[in-house]
Amino acid sequence: MEQSCYADVFLPLPLPGSFTYRVSSEQVQQVQPGIRVRVPFGKSKVYIAVIRKIHEQKPEGYEIRNILSIVDIEPVVTGNQFRLWDWISEYYMCTPGEVFRAALPAGLKITEKYRPKTFTSIRLTKAWGRKKKAGQLLAGLIRSPARSRLVTAYLALSGNHHGDVPPGVNKQELLRKAETGNRVLSELVSAGIFESYETVMSRLEKDDLPSGIITELNGPQRKALEDIHTAFDKTDVVLLHGVTSSGKTEIYIQLIREAVEAGNQVLYLLPEIALTTQIITRLKAAFGAGIAVYHSKFSDAERVETWMRLLQSGPGNENKIRIILGARSSVFLPFIHAGLIIIDEEHENTYKQFDPAPRYHARDTAIMLARLHGARVLLGTATPSVETYYNCITGKYGLVELQERYLEIGMPEIKVVNTRDLKRRKQMHTNFSPALLDGIAEALINKEQVILFQNRRGFSLLIECGNCGFIPRCRYCDVSLTYHKQGNHLNCHYCGYTMPVPKACPSCGNTGLIAQGFGTEKIEEDIALHFPQARISRMDLDTTRTRKSFEQLINRFEQKESDILVGTQMVSKGLDFENVKLVGIMNADTMLNYPDFRAHERSFQLMAQVSGRAGRKKSRGTVIIQTADHNHPLIRMVVTNDFMAMFNSQLEERRRFQYPPFARLVEITLKHIHRDILDNAAGFLAGQLRKSIRDNILGPEYPLVSRVQNLYLKNLLIKIEKGRDLSRVKSRIGARITELSGIPEFRSVRVQVDVDPY
Ligand code: ADP
Ligand code: ZN
């Protein structure tokens, strides 16, 4: 009797669990876990699904459908990847389908096959390809100038050859050189003189030849490297806490070399795409070929190619990828045998994905990935996150300190400027203090560079009617609109809604609209007024939409083709410029006063990091912090670069108010178009949760921005004490949410869960 065979598959949909399909007897030989298949779903949809499991248990209770067709010959998802997906969906309370959707580049999820990029090559046929035949051939074409030009061009391009098969030349290049069209070439192909064939080409940039530059570590770096080795004997995760410009990257490169020589793959994670530009140059100088870069600014086809190349990077492949340099999403790549994961700037919150699900943290996910591969993890930063440093002092992670800057240049001198006082005395010039203007002037005279940091993009934070106080707000969100002078429009930074700037106040008709607060665009404009000769660049979300624009901005500044770089937190993250003398922090107050339990930690990290861009190579740098609150304890800690003071004070607060690392947070956000339905649903869910878990629940409350894209929002924050059975609490939370969506009145309420929402 014939055994029936079934496949459990994941669909790229936010639905729980896997789905079972029948495997026909013809398909049995071809299916295996990790292979993609086409399956019907719902009334008439067809999806690309990936097989998780093959078995012989017929599912009961519904009509089972067939797999329509099979896409792959070899698996495109590995066993370790599935195990990582499982962990993510369980830990971050999302569905495997959501993880699937985030993990695979779009090109692997659409129903067309991935097509390699090709170009057409032309060569002489074997009959005409032999050397002595060339003269005869040209003689025969003497009456047709176009044809003989083609043959001559071919001979010039292909050069001498000794092999059996005549060499191919690029068709486009041939036509250009011969100055002929396609038709003439086709005639010669029909006549059996030329033949044409397709050559596969890579979409990725060509690897440069290996250059194998080895930098000599200095004493403190060598000591740190030894300490890291010792620490790895005890724990698989180690933090390298090294001040800015201590040469952490050089230490990473040594560790990478060791891992690669042991035959392992390395994942090098960076928090910001902009950083890959600088690091890739350093990695290529050290390792040459075998490095791939992976992040969302690459085209989909390029990402698919990296994915496929990694799958083939097993032992024995000469051309394999040994090092992946990437942003957050590279934790999803199909590593075959990862041996080392480096997480640079581990404190950065860009490692956390907030929307959509999976709301994962790439650092924590990478640590899990390492565990699956038996790999080691090195976290590196000058300003560790409170939770990581806590893991170090409790012995969960190893800790290595590196306190000297590589060139023994002192940490920058930090000056605090009291803007409240200056404003009162009418000494602020637009948003610049005299000290900052003097500093910039001096740097420019000495041909040194300046970075100005402001954590907001756009021109002004809002515009306000000078008469009635009216402030234009987003139609769909509960926020004021940001004014962008370029393009003269108002823009919502939550949903992207834009509108032209009104000529007059829509409320009272007054034409005096006043810009309030300032963003990077305004600083760029003002600084140009103060220093008309200076060359100014701006780096923020608006100027870096493409990968090339990042590179150009960074290159320009590196090559000293611009004097002043104005930017958002993008400029704070580990960039290494040699000629920056002065860093200006335009306004420290918005960061400090942000209503979030990590606001102080974040402000410290941001200010210390952006300060770290000053004085890296030549002489000691200067930092000027403008603030209305110059006695704020956190500002003092930045000035004295006192990480431990920040850490201890924060830890104390977290302990007192039960925040991480002393509790885990799960945030539930409910969304609905009607406020009353939302209120009822949130109230109901909170009530049910309070009955079934004993953990502390805050809310429901409206968040700071209480309406986004036309939906009202309400939050519940659950604090789960350390030591509680986390998966049990989570499954109870999950059950209450399922229960809520079962109630007809609340069916249309959207519920989203964020585990570790920070
Ligand atoms: P960090 O990552 O700690 O901020 P980097 O690794 O970027 O510091 O090092 C700062 C600068 O010093 C870089 O330009 C780097 O090339 C240089 N540098 C660090 N260590 C060495 C070394 N051992 N030999 C030569 N140059 C070094
Ligand atoms: Zn909006």
Three-state secondary structure along 134-177?
Answer: HHHHHHHCCCCHHHHHHHHHHHHHHCCCCCCCCCCEEHHHHHHH
| Residue with CA at minimum distance from ligand 1 atom 20 | 247
Q: Name the residue among 620, 84, 562, 585 with its Cα closest to residue 366.
A: 84
* C-alpha distances out from residue 178 to 147, 149, 151, 494, Å: 9, 5, 8, 55
Number of CB atoms found within 10 A of residue 439's CB: 22
- The ligand that comes nearest to the alpha carbon of residue 219 is 1
pLDDT at 12 over 70: yes
Antiparallel, parallel or unpaired: β 323-326 and 265-269:
parallel
Query: What is the distance between the alpha carbons of residues 157 and 171, in angstroms, rounded to a whole number?
Result: 11
CB count within 10 Å of CB 22 equals: 15
Strands 449-453 and 413-418: unpaired
Cα(270) to centroid(ligand 1), Å: 16
The closest residue, in CA terms, to atom 5 on ligand 1 is: 247
CA nearest to 7, candidates 70, 96, 77? 70
pLDDT band at 1; cut points 50, 70, 90: very low
Q: What is the 3-state secondary structure (H, E, C) of 644-709?
A: HHHHHHHHHHHHHHCCCCCEEEEEEEEEECCHHHHHHHHHHHHHHHHHHCCCEEEEEECCCCCEEC
Higher pLDDT: 556 or 159? It is: 556
The least confident of 55-64, 177-186, 272-281, 730-739 is 272-281
Over residues 96-122, the pLDDT tens digits come to 999 999 999 998 987 755 566 778 889
Model pTM score: 0.86
Span 17-26, average pLDDT: 94
Locate 223 and state its tokens.
């000591």
Round to whole Å and give the CA distance between 695 and 629.
37
Helix (H) or strand (E) holding 96: helix 96-103
pLDDT higher than 50, residue 523: yes
- CA nearest 100: which of 46, 49, 28? 49
Q: Are 275 and 573 in contact (CB under 8 A)?
A: yes
Report the distance separating Cα 113 and Cα 101, nearest Å.
17
Q: What is the mean pLDDT of residues 310-338?
A: 92
What would the pLDDT profile of 675-687 be if each residue is shown by its tens digit?
Answer: 999 999 999 999 9
Q: What pLDDT score was predicted for residue 206?
A: 61
Cα(478) to centroid(ligand 2), Å: 7
Place of tokens 């624009």: 549
Read off the pLDDT of residues 422-448 as tens digits, 9 standing for 90 and up. 999 999 988 999 999 999 999 999 999
In tens, the pLDDT along 352-380 reads 999 999 999 999 999 999 999 999 999 99
Choose one of 225, 249, 346, 613 to mutate for the ligand 1 pocket test, by most ligand atoms within 8 angstroms of C-beta.
249
Q: What is the mean pLDDT of residues 308-323?
A: 89
Residues paired with 258 in a beta bridge:
none
Nearest to 622 by CA among 345, 435, 405, 419: 435
- 210 has pLDDT over 60: no
pLDDT in tens, 326-341: 999 999 999 999 999 9
For residue 32, the model assigns a pLDDT of 96
Pocket of ligand 1 (CB under 6 A): 215-218, 221, 242, 244-250, 406, 576, 616
List Cα–Cα distances, 418 to 455, 599, 626, 673, 696, in angstroms.
18, 21, 6, 44, 40
Q: Where do we find the tokens 């017929």?
A: 58
